[in-house]
Amino acid sequence: MTHRAGRSVAAAVAALTLAATACAQGAQRPSSDFREADGKAAAQRWVTREFTPSTLSKDQQLAEMDWFIKAAAPYRGMQINVVSETITTHEYESQQLAKAFTEITGIRIKHDLIQEGDVIEKLQTQIQGNQNIYDAYVNDSDLIGTHSRGTYVLPLSDYIAGEGRDVTSPTLDLNDFIGISFTTGPDKKVYQLPDQQFANLYWFRYDWFTDPAIKKQFKDLYGYDLGVPVNWAAYEDIADFFTNKVNGDGTIDGRKVYGHMDYGRKDPSLGWRFTDAWLSMAGNGDPGIPNGLPVDDWGIRVENCRPVGSSVTRGGDTNGPASVYALVKYIDWLKKYAPKEAAGMNFSESGPVPAQGAIAQQIFWYTAFTADLTKPGLPVVNADGTPKWRMAPSPHGAYWKDGHKLGYQDAGAWTFLKNTPKERRAAAWLYAQFVTSKTVSLKKTITGLTFIRDSDIRSAYFDDNAKKYGGLIEFYRSPARKQWTPTGTNVPDYPKLAQLWWQNVATAVTGETTPQQSMDNLAKQQDEILSRLERVGYGGACAPKLNPEQPAQQWLDQPGAPVAKLTDERGKPATVDYDKLLAQWKSGN
């Protein structure tokens, strides 16, 4: 869900100033009077008072902390600077875990929280200026195609096996990280360590959907049962029903309600709305997990690992019928079924709206908002603290086929650059492992609900408390979660390509261009960037190599994506009973 902020001279100057400071810190480490006994006493305090519950026993937690105390000895007295975006999980790290790490290890941590685009700005400045600004970055795994093709990121697989062997925890357990495949490059090396992860799912008012009177009204009007929509046709009917027809006038308990919620302001976050798998939910690209082969969920075709084109004329699907259909539906629903103010909102502004109690369903809802929608006293929370809402798989569009990905997962992950001094990198790697360690990860997960470890998902705590989270636990325990994936390795320069999306989608929202024109412009601009990357050979053997243009029909006539326009882009609406769906998840189907 990352975007690239515009660069400025002031930002570059500030970055170089920070870099000089960081390098100075790396060259001369202050002495420390920290004693190992201090660390052991601190570990006892934190494990007893804060790091509970945990999937480890207290003795196992203390043993894990003891390893950190000993491994940190060469780096005591250093101040390490790390950065991440501002979300609840990272606030907990910055305010609590950084303090705990310092008290337990003697390494001081400055964990900055800045806007997501600014994280990428700093990262790029460090890469391009070859100066150390931060010792580690938490940035999205959406950049895996960029990082794995470049020469500036230190592959963690290489680091763990070599230089970082002595500072790699024996209890790290990479196989326990549910997003490790997202941070693995085409060369099968792990480039980033997942730190927080969340999905976009379908959100709905379970209390309204199970109300007998409302269910009868819906079936009388549409001829089938109100339930979780399986496809976009059913979602559209439900949106129409709640916005215009429930109780004869689109109201519940005398209050105006809406069958859809979204956002549409010309803003970088509008790009996330689309690059976060909206086109694949419609059915663009080819089936294949994690990202569709040979055409992925951005509409980029790859041959082996080389991107060869976005435009239909090059075998891509960015401007194909499925992608245009996705944009058309987004605009139609925003205008017809969402509150009027939604079109002027961005991602952050629209996020809290369902909590206000007037939204019946939302097709594209990030589970990062779960904690905010479970607070006592909200109109969407019962008196006993359980939610009135639930989450379920998002419905799919008319072009979608079995085997397509069905949604997006955001995976913020620790990233280390080769131009960071070795000592600083080692100390920062210890901190990254600490904030993802089994000692602290369950408590961090409960705080931010951004799951990274399978052991946390399957913990006794979530056995006992699953009902508080509206289906989130059941989703993460089900095989279905594998159909939710981030941007994959087909995207060779995420910062440059991602910024094209919001600029082109916005003109379709305002009516300056038609949806077809917007997607044509987007595909052409993506191909121009791929062409530039091809000229400089970015990515070596995995660098782009554009296909020559051919008449679009030649590609549309071939099997697979891009697919020709369907004569019926609606299809037969279908719903499923939520409780039956939940039973399927629990049984593993």
**At residue 340, what is the residue type?**
K
- 277, 396 Cβ separation under 8 angstroms: no
Give 431's contacts (C-beta < 8 A, 6+ positions apart): 80, 82, 98, 101, 107, 109, 136
| 333-337 long-range Cβ contacts below 8 angstroms, 24+ apart | 333/236, 333/239, 333/260, 333/262, 333/363, 334/260, 334/262, 334/264, 334/509, 336/239, 336/240, 336/243, 336/260, 337/239, 337/240, 337/242, 337/243, 337/258, 337/259, 337/260
How far is the C-alpha of 4 from the C-alpha of 467, rounded, in Å? 38
212-234 pLDDT tens trace = 999 999 999 999 999 999 999 99
pLDDT at 5: 35
Buried b or exposed e, range 544-570, using 16+ CB within 10 angstroms: bbbbeeeebeebeeeebbbbeeeeebe
pLDDT at 21: 39
Q: Which of 469, 435, 385, 369 is nearest to 50 (CA)?
A: 435
- 181, 405 Cβ separation under 8 angstroms: no
How is residue 31 annotated by DSSP?
Answer: P
How far is the C-alpha of 204 from the C-alpha of 485, rounded, in Å? 22
pLDDT at 79: 97
Give 190's contacts (C-beta < 8 A, 6+ positions apart): 155, 156, 157, 174, 180, 183, 184
How far is the C-alpha of 368 from the C-alpha of 448, rounded, in Å? 8
pLDDT at 29: 55
Tokens 């056995």 identify what position? 463
Instruction: Annotate 300-347 with DSSP letters as a single string.
Output: -EEETTEEEESSGGGT--TTSHHHHHHHHHHHHHHHHHS-GGGGG--H
CA 107 and chain centroid, separation: 30
Q: Which of 297, 316, 318 is nearest to 308 (CA)?
A: 316
How far is the C-alpha of 266 from the C-alpha of 251, rounded, in Å? 30
Tokens representing 383? 């008196």
How is residue 96 annotated by DSSP?
Answer: I
Render each residue's pLDDT in the chain as its tens digit; 589 residues: 544 333 232 333 233 333 333 443 444 456 678 999 999 999 999 999 999 999 999 999 999 999 999 999 999 999 999 999 998 999 999 999 999 999 999 999 999 999 888 999 999 999 998 889 999 999 999 999 999 999 999 999 999 999 999 999 999 999 999 999 999 999 999 999 999 999 999 999 999 999 999 999 999 999 999 999 999 999 999 999 999 999 999 999 999 999 999 999 999 999 999 999 999 999 999 999 999 999 999 999 999 999 999 999 999 999 999 999 999 999 999 999 999 999 999 998 999 899 999 999 999 999 988 988 999 999 999 999 999 999 999 999 999 999 999 999 999 999 999 999 999 999 999 999 999 999 999 999 999 999 999 999 999 999 999 999 999 999 999 888 889 999 999 999 999 999 999 999 999 999 999 999 999 999 999 999 999 999 999 999 999 999 999 999 999 999 999 999 999 999 999 999 999 988 887 776 5
- 443, 150 Cβ separation under 8 angstroms: no
pLDDT at 30: 60
**At residue 240, what is the residue type?**
D
pLDDT at 31: 66
How far is the C-alpha of 81 from the C-alpha of 108, rounded, in Å? 9
How far is the C-alpha of 223 from the C-alpha of 574, rounded, in Å? 11
pLDDT at 376: 93
